[in-house]
Structures are given as structure tokens and as C-alpha cells.
């Protein structure tokens, strides 16, 4: 997967430790899934699992970080009772 990000948006992400950690963990998990199943376009996980893997105390911090990354345009985020789903594949996501 290749995503082109403008320098302003990349600077915004890199200035925040939370956004950087969340994005790194998501991309790491996505790459692992993509290697195993080839051509994966979405990923599902629970907010609690992501919180534990990042070693944060509050789910709200992780939730705000995911929402902000979604608002920047890196992925499309949907949430439900079972957890979160991130969609990477839509054409409008390819260039930010």
C-alpha cells in the first residue's frame, strides 16, 4: 500500500506523540495482515486491544487519536459495538 501525504499533514502527525504511536501501530498491524492475506483493504480491532498494545490508560485518548487521523484523511473509520474498522482502499484515500 502506498499513501502520499502532504508535508503539512505529516508535520501535524509527527508533532503529536499520540498520533505517531497510533499510526505506527496501525500500519504495523496492517502490513502484517497484508503479508499473510495479500491485498487487504480493511482491518478490524477492538479499542481495548489497541489501548493495551499502546500502553495507554484511557480509551478516550486512543479514540480521539483515531478520529483525528481519520479526519486528516488517512483512512475511513467506522465504529460499532464489536470495535473499529479501518478502510484503506478507497481511491480518495490514495492521495492526501
Q: Where are the domains of the chain?
A: 7-93
Could you read off the pLDDT of 61-79 as tens digits, one per residue? 999 999 999 998 888 999 8
Cα dihedral sign, 68-74-76-82: negative
Find the helix packing angle between 47-54 and 17-37, rounded to 10°: 110
Give the CA angle between residues 17, 5, 53 to the nearest 5°.
35
DSSP 33-80: HHHHHSS--EEEE-HHHHHHHHT-S-HHHHHHHHHHHHHHTS-EEEEE
- At 92 the pLDDT is 57
**Per CATH, which fold does 7-93 belong to?**
Arc Repressor Mutant, subunit A (1.10.10)
Choose among 25, 15, 10, 83: nearest CA to 56: 25
Sorting pLDDT into bands at 50, 70 and 90, what band is 5?
confident
Asked if 58 and 45 count as a contact pair (C-beta separation under 8 A), the reply is: no
Amino acid at each position: 500500500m502506498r499513501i502520499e501525504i502532504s508535508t503539512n499533514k505529516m508535520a501535524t502527525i509527527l508533532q503529536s506523540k499520540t498520533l505517531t504511536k497510533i499510526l505506527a501501530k496501525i500500519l504495523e498491524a496492517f502490513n502484517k495482515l497484508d503479508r499473510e492475506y495479500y491485498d487487504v483493504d480493511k482491518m478490524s480491532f477492538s479499542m481495548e486491544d489497541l489501548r493495551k498494545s499502546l500502553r495507554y490508560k484511557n480509551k478516550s485518548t486512543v479514540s480521539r487519536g483515531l478520529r483525528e487521523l481519520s479526519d486528516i484523511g488517512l483512512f475511513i473509520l467506522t465504529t460499532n459495538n464489536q470495535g473499529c474498522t479501518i478502510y484503506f482502499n478507497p481511491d480518495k484515500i490514495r492521495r492526501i
